[in-house]
């Protein structure tokens, strides 16, 4: 088990793992999920329609999309420290803006900045760990970094629930999130000093080499995953609140249950590697998309049932955390010579679906209702599951 060194100073393993854990807990927790978590309160305070909510969520995911592109350029130019710190600064500023927002435009700007942080600060940790951690410990370090996502989402949901039950304003809740983000920013600034000025590989790599025929199924599944997962995190809490909430919890915070279960069950993403070995990658991908379909169907049909909500959120959490890892496995097979750039291309496909999904879903809900929106999302996930074929999961056609 890795430990501190003889001088009592944290080893690179622990330093980078702790920094990454804190960064993903903030950027993929309250910064990325906070809008959906607090949407019932936002709709009440700012008089937001369901269609406007979809547009704001899509704006935030556009920030995520842009963050991915800028992060790659920053990492290539100056190493991983700059994009990670920049992302956490955006998270701190965005969350702070939301906490103090006097109007809908300021709220939207805060959401844009906060959600862009996830695009900036995730993929550079692969480079930081690759440079700073010995090879045998890298998988463990990356797993610890990814675990921050599940715990960050669970903590955000729990904080929202407890504070609302105690009568604490949602603004104070976001202010506390901003303080946590600032502390994460400071910690990463210090922990990543050794990674500054260590740019990635300088050899030219044109994006078009990633877009070959064998990669089309992966990008297609990533696009569908982006739509289905973001529709859920954007609107599930509001769906529960508008339906009357679950028994025993105040209506306006009953959606917090979604994010608590989502994050807690999502920790099962740590066993994705074992699941892939046991089931094979094609079957694992099908099961995950079917889990997403069932999750959306349950939130559409039984949004006031404890069992329905817990199962729905748990399935969605498992789907999101495991699917991210499963797509990384698939990407590694296709792009063994440039894994970081290849997986970024996959994330861009996911981000494209994430941008288009909420705004389209908001329009559907405005015209036909939330039930139709979630059942349509479930149908898309089921069709994607049925479309996956074993022959799609191939090795790179450009070895070496």
Q: How far apart are the first and last CA of the chain?
A: 35
Number of structural domains found in the chain: 2
Residue 5 predicted with pLDDT over 60: no
pLDDT at residue 1, rounded to an integer:
47
Residues 172 and 215 both lie in one domain? no
Q: Report which of 319, 1, 18, 60 is spatially closest to residue 192, judged by C-alpha positions.
A: 18
For the stretch 10-21, pLDDT in tens is 788 888 889 999
Asked if residue 5 belongs to a domain, the reply is no
What DSSP string runs through 218-253? HHHHHHHHHHHHHHHHHHHHHHHHHHT--TTS-GGG
Centre a 10 Å sphere on the Cβ of residue 338 and count the other Cβ atoms it contains: 17
pLDDT band at 195 (very low <50, low <70, confident <90, very high): low
Q: Report which of 201, 187, 226, 189 is spatially closest to residue 72, judged by C-alpha positions.
A: 201
Residues 190 and 220 both lie in one domain? no
Asked if residue 4 belongs to a domain, the reply is no
Residues 241 and 170 both lie in one domain? no
pLDDT at residue 255, rounded to an integer:
79
Contact status, residue 88 vs residue 117, Cβ threshold 8 Å = yes
pLDDT at residue 339, rounded to an integer:
66
- C-alpha–C-alpha distance, residues 241 and 5, integer Å: 51
**Average pLDDT for residues 304-317, to the nearest whole number?**
95
pLDDT at residue 7, rounded to an integer:
42
Q: Mean pLDDT lowest for which of 274-283, 307-316, 366-375? A: 274-283
In this structure, what CATH number is given to the domain that contains residue 116? Answer: 1.20.1250.20
Residue 159 burial by Cβ neighbours in a 10 Å radius (0-12, 13-18, 19+): buried
Contact status, residue 257 vs residue 264, Cβ threshold 8 Å = no
Residues 341 and 383 both lie in one domain? yes
Asked if residue 230 belongs to a domain, the reply is yes
- CB burial string 384-396: b at 16+ within 10 A, e below: bbeebeeebbeeb
Q: Report which of 6, 34, 240, 39 is spatially closest to residue 118, judged by C-alpha positions.
A: 34
Q: Which of 171, 200, 229 is the last residue of a domain?
A: 200
pLDDT band at 314 (very low <50, low <70, confident <90, very high): very high
Q: Which of 167, 200, 233 is the last residue of a domain?
A: 200
Asked if residue 258 belongs to a domain, the reply is yes
For the stretch 54-93, pLDDT in tens is 999 999 999 999 999 999 889 888 888 899 999 999 999 9
**Average pLDDT for residues 340-365, to the nearest whole number?**
90
Q: At what angle do helices 216-243 and 50-78 cross, to 10 degrees?
A: 140
- Within the chain, what is the greatest distance between any pair of CA atoms? 65
With a pLDDT cut of 90, the percent of the chain lying above it is 55
Residues 155 and 286 both lie in one domain? no
Domain span at 72: 10-200
Asked if residue 46 belongs to a domain, the reply is yes
Asked if residue 2 belongs to a domain, the reply is no
Q: Which of 200, 218, 243 is the last residue of a domain?
A: 200
For the stretch 92-108, pLDDT in tens is 999 999 999 999 999 99
Residue 322 predicted with pLDDT over 50: yes
- CB burial string 71-103: b at 16+ within 10 A, e below: bbebbbebbbbbbbbbbbbbbbbbbbbbbebee
pLDDT at residue 142, rounded to an integer:
76
Q: State the virtual CA torsion across 36, 383, 397, 127 in degrees, nearest 10.
A: 10
- 336 secondary structure, DSSP code: T
Asked if residue 354 belongs to a domain, the reply is yes
Residues 400 and 253 both lie in one domain? yes
Residue 144 predicted with pLDDT over 90: no
For the stretch 121-135, pLDDT in tens is 877 887 788 777 887
Residues 62 and 128 both lie in one domain? yes
Residues 62 and 133 both lie in one domain? yes
Asked if residue 289 belongs to a domain, the reply is yes
pLDDT at residue 17, rounded to an integer:
87
pLDDT at residue 129, rounded to an integer:
81
Residues 144 and 92 both lie in one domain? yes
Residues 72 and 192 both lie in one domain? yes
Residues 75 and 129 both lie in one domain? yes
**Average pLDDT for residues 333-349, to the nearest whole number?**
79
Contact status, residue 144 vs residue 2, Cβ threshold 8 Å = no
Residue 218 predicted with pLDDT over 70: yes
Residues 32 and 89 both lie in one domain? yes
């Amino acid at each position: 088990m890795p430990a501190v060194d003889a001088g009592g100073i944290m080893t690179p393993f622990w330093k980078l793992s702790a920094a990454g854990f804190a960064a993903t807990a903030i950027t993929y927790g309250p910064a990325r999920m906070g809008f959906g978590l607090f949407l019932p309160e936002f709709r009440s305070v700012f008089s937001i329609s369901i269609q406007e909510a979809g547009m704001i969520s899509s704006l935030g995911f556009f920030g995520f999309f842009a963050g991915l592109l800028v992060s790659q350029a920053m990492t290539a130019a100056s190493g991983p420290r700059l994009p990670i710190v920049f992302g956490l600064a955006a998270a701190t500023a965005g969350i702070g803006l939301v906490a103090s927002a006097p109007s809908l435009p300021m709220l939207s700007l805060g959401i844009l900045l906060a959600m862009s942080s996830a695009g900036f600060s995730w993929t550079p940790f692969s480079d930081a760990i690759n440079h700073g951690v010995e090879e045998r410990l890298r998988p463990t370090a990356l797993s610890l970094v990814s675990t921050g996502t599940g715990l960050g989402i669970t903590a955000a949901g729990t904080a929202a629930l407890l504070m609302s039950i105690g009568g604490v304003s949602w603004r104070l809740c976001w202010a506390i999130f901003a303080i946590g983000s600032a502390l994460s920013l400071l910690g990463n600034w210090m922990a990543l000093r050794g990674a500054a000025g260590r740019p990635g590989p300088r050899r030219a790599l044109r994006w078009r080499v990633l877009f070959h025929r064998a990669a089309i199924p992966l990008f297609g599944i990533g696009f569908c995953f982006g739509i289905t997962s973001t529709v859920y995190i954007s609107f599930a809490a509001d769906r529960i609140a508008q339906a009357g909430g679950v028994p025993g919890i105040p209506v306006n915070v009953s959606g917090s249950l979604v994010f608590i279960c989502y994050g807690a069950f999502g920790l099962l993403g740590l066993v994705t590697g074992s699941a892939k070995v046991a089931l094979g990658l094609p079957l694992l991908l099908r099961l995950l998309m079917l889990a997403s379909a069932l999750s959306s169907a349950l939130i559409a049909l039984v949004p006031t049932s404890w069992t329905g909500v817990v199962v729905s959120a748990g399935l969605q959490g498992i789907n999101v955390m495991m699917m991210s890892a499963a797509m990384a496995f698939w990407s590694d097979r296709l792009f063994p010579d440039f894994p970081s750039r290849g997986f970024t291309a996959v994330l861009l496909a996911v981000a494209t679906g994430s941008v288009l999904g909420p705004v389209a879903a908001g329009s559907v809900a405005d015209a036909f209702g939330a039930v139709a929106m979630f059942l349509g999302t479930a149908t898309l996930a089921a069709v994607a599951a049925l479309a996956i074929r074993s022959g799609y999961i191939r090795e790179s056609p450009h070895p070496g």
